[in-house]
């Protein structure tokens, strides 16, 4: 059954107990992203400390995939240099756009590798990327201000 490949325990755990959830102050920039086909949305804030991602906080409504993926994102990027965070973003993008053909690197993506099964379902890739796109946008805004 492919369903278990998609809904890995890791994903369901992040969905039920999301990490870093809630909007926090202070922050440098905020991004609001919406998936127009289903109405899922996320508001995500980024605080940078020099080159470091000091905090990512978020609020949103959406399916397990979009919510869990945003939770995983915060684990992966908070405390990391922006350059490294963007490398992870690229790796996650590559995984999600790989139609299940890309072998993820656990050293880079950690819990993010659980989304490999989601990549087989093109309709759900947007869900998995919602928070990541908000992060990318928020960092760009924060850097634009600096």
| Total of residues contacting another protein (CB under 8 A) | 19
Does 37 contact another protein by CB under 8 A? yes
Residue closer to another protein (CB basis): 67 or 74: 67
CA distance 2 to 116: 12
Give the footprint of another protein on residues 96-125 (CB under 8 A): 121, 124
Integer Cα distance of 36 and 92 in angstroms:
22
Judged by CB under 8 A, which stretch of 37-45, 85-93, 97-105, 130-138 contacts another protein?
37-45
62 binds another protein (CB under 8 A): yes
- Asked if residue 56 binds another protein (CB under 8 A), the reply is no
Q: Does 7 bind another protein (CB under 8 A)?
A: yes
Kindly indicate which of the ranges 1-9, 47-55, 71-79, 136-144 contains the residues binding another protein, using the contact rule CB under 8 A: 1-9
In sequence order, the 6+-apart residues with CB closer than 8 A to the CB of 90 are none
Edge-to-edge strand ranges of the sheet holding 41-49: 29-34, 41-49, 52-61
Residues of the shown chain interacting with another protein in the complex, contacts defined by CB under 8 A:
1-3, 6-7, 12, 37-41, 61-65, 121, 124, 127
């Amino acid at each position: 059954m492919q369903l278990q490949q998609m809904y890995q325990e890791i994903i369901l755990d992040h969905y039920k107990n999301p990490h870093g959830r809630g909007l926090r102050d202070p922050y440098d920039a905020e991004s609001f992203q919406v998936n127009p086909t289903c109405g899922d949305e996320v508001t995500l804030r980024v605080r940078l400390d020099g080159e470091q991602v000091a905090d990512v906080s978020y609020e949103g409504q959406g399916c397990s995939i979009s919510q869990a993926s945003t939770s995983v994102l915060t684990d992966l990027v908070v405390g990391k240099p922006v350059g490294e965070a963007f490398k992870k973003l690229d790796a996650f993008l590559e995984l999600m756009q790989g139609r299940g053909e890309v072998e993820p690197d656990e050293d880079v993506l950690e819990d993010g590798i659980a989304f490999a099964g989601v990549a087989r379902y093109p309709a759900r890739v947007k869900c998995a990327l919602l928070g990541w796109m908000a992060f990318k946008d928020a960092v760009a805004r924060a850097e634009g201000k600096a």
